[in-house]
Amino acid sequence: DGKAKPVPNEMRGDHIPQTQQYAVEDVLVDLLDLAARSLRLGGRLVYWLPTTYDFTDADLPRHPCLGTCANSEQPLTQKHGRRLITMEKVAEYDDAEAGAYKASSMVSASAPFARLRERMEGDELAGSLDRREKKRRKLEGCTEEGGS
């Protein structure tokens, strides 16, 4: 029936709620819409966005009521990084336009960040190893050689 079952009182102490998959693009569209609804004019939203190095400013998620103030990149590995995105509310939210706002934001969800997990796990990045993984493999190689 789609309704959540209540958790019995005796099980609430260590209960972990069930989770569902929530695609990155859907999270970002919802985040931008919530910020556009909730912030006052001039208010800011700041969030981390995981990226690969082929990410460009044109790939940033957008919302008609929010403007991008800052976009700072932080490298994490040879192929992955993250960006600290700062957006400012520049227009009042109009409830009558809610559908159009979401549709506009979904257009930017087709940008490369929308398929980030697949790109990070796919063949396109299969040859890359982050520093920790390289170090682990190097240590394993030394241990195997030293142990013989």
User: Using one digit for the tens of pLDDT, what is the confidence trace for 129-142?
Assistant: 555 565 666 666 65
In angstroms, how far is CA 109 from the centroid of its own chain? 11
pLDDT at 84: 95
pTM of the model: 0.65
Q: Running along the chain, 148 residues long, what does each successive block of 10 average in pLDDT?
A: 72 74 81 95 95 81 92 89 94 90 75 61 49 62 51
User: According to the model, what pLDDT value does residue 2 have?
Assistant: 57
pLDDT on residue 36: 95
